Structure 1
Amino acid sequence: MLTALIMAGGSGERFWPLSTSTKPKQLLCLFSNKTMIRETVDRILPIISVDRIFIATNILQVEEIRKELPDIPEENIIIEPTFKDTAAAIGYSTLIIEEKFKVFDKKIEVVVLASDHLIKDEENFRKIILKGAEEASKNSTIVTLGIKPDKPETGYGYIEVDNEKELVLEKIYKVRRFREKPNREIAEQYINSGKYLWNSGMFIFTTTTIFKNFEVLMPEHMNILNEIRREISSEKKGKQLSNSIKKYFDKFEKISIDFGVMEYSKNIKVIPVKIGWNDIGSFNALSEVFDSNIEENIILGTQVLEYDSTNNIVIGDDCLISLLGIKNLIVVKNEKNILICHKDRAQDIKKIVSKYNILKNEKK
């Protein structure tokens, strides 16, 4: 039985001021008249029905997500009581999935997806998901999708493949190791070697396999999950369940699934893919999706007067923005908030958000 777990608890700090605490990136309509999380759900509906799609989020965003996804059963929207990163979120959510379906099927496959990624080749994406699920079920492996790189990107982690020849798209390979985000020089070495893929952050496993990995690699996490399992077996759900398991969640180490499991597990497979993927990690990613105008500026949602200004990204909420003699800037206006930054500093937007507690102040 194939299920989907869509991770939707992020705050989207790099997309402030468009992204807010209650309406983060996954709830924005960036590329169509649909929000990114709606696009994510619709992308997998041809192979996974709504009763088998789960959303992991937090208390701040749960109401907006329910409004956006009314077709998803209420009990399938999982509320994390506190943010403890993806190892805790995936472990807890997998418990809920297993509890719901274990009486129907002993072998439950879970595909973990981000709620805010762009995938253009959706049909091929679904075909690869089914292939990965078959591998995960048959051989008790954790399968990840590796993006065939087309440039020495320094903003992504990399997957080194245990293979001496050129990688073939959609073939299954054993993972040698995961690599952290490299500098430019190392990224170029990765590309030239032909043995590295971008880490997409998409995983496929059976519930049995992921819990075995937790037992071996993160035993303290597994002990806490076993405590939580007793609470899940009750009739509690939604906010009531979230409140009841908070005392256990507080005991989790804050660590990602990558650091806790993926980097150390001995049975990880990867499928190289080319599916028009983009994680839309910062405003600069919009340059890879939208065409620029004759002045080489990208203009979204607003009217712009341009004079001697090139290579800018400008986003507004139905206002008039004038550019005079500026280059390589990001200009974003959302209601009362305005951001102006150099494109080279787009990854650092979260620093100003963090320094001034912008998202936390929004909650008050």
Structure 2
Amino acid sequence: MRDAYAIILAGGYGTRFWPASRRARPKQFLPLAGKESLLQQTYRRVARLFPPRRIYVVGNAEHARLLRQQLPRLPRRNLLLEPVGRNTAAAVALAAAHLRAARRRGEEDALLAVFPADHAIRNPAKFRRVVRRALAAAAAEDAIIVLGIPPAAPHTGYGYIERGRPLKRAGSRPVYAVRRFTEKPDARTAARYLRTGRFYWNSGMFFWRLSTLDGLLRRYRPSTRATFARIGANPRAADLRRAYRRLESISVDYALAEPAAARGQLRVIPAEMGWSDLGSWSALADWLGPKAGAAHFFLDARGNFLHAPQKFATAVGVRDLIVVETPDALLVTSRDRAQDVGKIVDYLRAKKLGRLL
């Protein structure tokens, strides 16, 4: 198999995890689902498949110290720092530019695997198996491979992928053509998708050849590719800041996967590995289960999640509440409104309450 490289996307501010997630220490740096941070857990999983020299981490420059503290085994040159966040398409393009510059002329095409830093996976062995299958599928054709999660509910916070006909097999799993790639449908549409049995959640884990990614950027985001080609692999900080100011803020999903699906260049491999994107406090409560409140006391209370690490907390006669306490803030929300917590951060910005961000 060709040389394979991992790109861990460690930017973002995790606003839906306010007040625990703050600008100075966002969600991916927090030990929300275990003793290690989500970033450290992701790196540990990925490092079972890729040696450290073939793992790149893309993060925000303001988190450079945190990134180095939490990932001491990552080679310093493999930490790529963005001056400002411009969503995942820019982060992937930055990593691709570094890899293109590092590879010698005539060298065999590389394989790239993209992993979000803040997801959780219960079964690492199944994760490793499906990643190997996805890399093999990416090596075999000029296409994007995405891992699709069998949906457990009509969730409106995920992108949905409709599978088409099976094209081949990757180990014991079929690789499917993709009919449609849809971002975050409404509840009625999501329920209809589930009834068909043909849809998967978009995991945000993408696999492709370096040449495939380069071709996609040339076709769908030529200005982004040209920007990184112009500044080179080791730009001065001022040049990188100027370049990033001109970049569009757009995700890989919208920038590359959606148009690739429309042209028949997107494939999906079903991945059952116990996955969660931990996209909200409600998702974390579901992930941790009843043990999350083991240090607290509940009386005639069901479905509640209390995150108050420094205090004894109790709930009496209430249902489906999420309560999060930090030294300077308190959040109370219902489970079904946990997706809206990010709007609190918008309010704090508008009111210039920077000390709470």
TM-score by length of 1: 0.89
Letter in 2 for 1:258: D
Q: How does 1:119-158 map to 2 (within 5 A)?
A: 119-158=121-160
* Inter-partner Cα distance in structure 2 for 1:281 and 1:268: 24
- Aligned residue number for residue 204 of structure 2: 201
How far residue 91 of structure 1 moved from its aligned partner, in angstroms, is 0.6
* Inter-partner Cα distance in structure 2 for 1:59 and 1:359: 22
Tell me which of 340, 343, 352 is aligned to 1:351: 343
* Inter-partner Cα distance in structure 2 for 1:53 and 1:359: 38
How far residue 96 of structure 1 moved from its aligned partner, in angstroms, is 1.1
How far residue 104 of structure 1 moved from its aligned partner, in angstroms, is 9.0
* Inter-partner Cα distance in structure 1 for 2:64 and 2:300: 45
Letter in 1 for 2:332: I
Letter in 2 for 1:85: N
Tell me which of 276, 291, 299 is aligned to 2:293: 299
- Aligned residue number for residue 178 of structure 1: 181
Q: How does 1:161-172 map to 2 (within 5 A)?
A: 161-163=163-165, 170-172=173-175
Structure 1 SS opposite 2:36: coil
How far residue 16 of structure 1 moved from its aligned partner, in angstroms, is 1.0
- Aligned residue number for residue 276 of structure 2: 278
Structure 2 SS opposite 1:6: strand
Structure 1 SS opposite 2:125: helix
* Inter-partner Cα distance in structure 2 for 1:97 and 1:351: 37
- Number of equivalent positions: 349
User: Cα gap change, 1:2/1:359 in structure 2, threshold over 3 Å: closer, same or farther?
Assistant: farther
Structure 2 stretches lacking a partner, 5+ long = none
User: Cα gap change, 1:26/1:105 in structure 2, threshold over 3 Å: closer, same or farther?
Assistant: farther
User: Does the 8 Å CA contact 1:156/1:181 hold for their aligned counterparts?
Assistant: yes
How far residue 122 of structure 1 moved from its aligned partner, in angstroms, is 1.1
Tell me which of 183, 201, 222 is aligned to 1:219: 222
* Inter-partner Cα distance in structure 2 for 1:306 and 1:47: 42
User: Cα gap change, 1:170/1:228 in structure 2, threshold over 3 Å: closer, same or farther?
Assistant: farther
Q: How does 1:1-364 map to 2 (within 5 A)?
A: 1-102=3-104, 105-163=107-165, 170-229=173-232, 232=233, 234=234, 241-265=236-260, 266=263, 267-292=265-290, 298-299=292-293, 303-357=295-349, 361-362=354-355
User: Does the 8 Å CA contact 1:317/1:335 hold for their aligned counterparts?
Assistant: no
How far residue 363 of structure 1 moved from its aligned partner, in angstroms, is 8.9
Letter in 2 for 1:63: R
* Inter-partner Cα distance in structure 2 for 1:103 and 1:222: 19
How far residue 209 of structure 1 moved from its aligned partner, in angstroms, is 0.8
* Inter-partner Cα distance in structure 2 for 1:36 and 1:67: 14
Structure 1 stretch 183-192 or stretch 343-352: which is displaced more?
183-192
* Inter-partner Cα distance in structure 2 for 1:87 and 1:32: 29
* Inter-partner Cα distance in structure 2 for 1:243 and 1:122: 40
* Inter-partner Cα distance in structure 1 for 2:70 and 2:215: 35
User: Does the 8 Å CA contact 1:21/1:363 hold for their aligned counterparts?
Assistant: no
* Inter-partner Cα distance in structure 2 for 1:291 and 1:82: 35
Structure 2 SS opposite 1:245: helix
Structure 2 SS opposite 1:356: helix
TM-score by length of 2: 0.91
How far residue 359 of structure 1 moved from its aligned partner, in angstroms, is 9.8
User: Cα gap change, 1:170/1:290 in structure 2, threshold over 3 Å: closer, same or farther?
Assistant: same
How far residue 102 of structure 1 moved from its aligned partner, in angstroms, is 3.9
User: Cα gap change, 1:102/1:145 in structure 2, threshold over 3 Å: closer, same or farther?
Assistant: farther
Identity %: 30
Q: CA RMSD in A?
A: 2.4
* Inter-partner Cα distance in structure 2 for 1:188 and 1:334: 36
Structure 2 SS opposite 1:144: strand
Structure 1 stretch 98-107 or stretch 75-84: which is displaced more?
98-107
User: Does the 8 Å CA contact 1:5/1:93 hold for their aligned counterparts?
Assistant: yes
User: Does the 8 Å CA contact 2:166/2:174 hold for their aligned counterparts?
Assistant: no
1:50-75 CA distances to partner (integer Å, 9 max, x unpaired)?
11111111022121110000100111
User: Does the 8 Å CA contact 2:348/2:356 hold for their aligned counterparts?
Assistant: no
Structure 2 SS opposite 1:289: helix
User: Does the 8 Å CA contact 2:306/2:324 hold for their aligned counterparts?
Assistant: yes
User: Does the 8 Å CA contact 1:54/1:76 hold for their aligned counterparts?
Assistant: yes
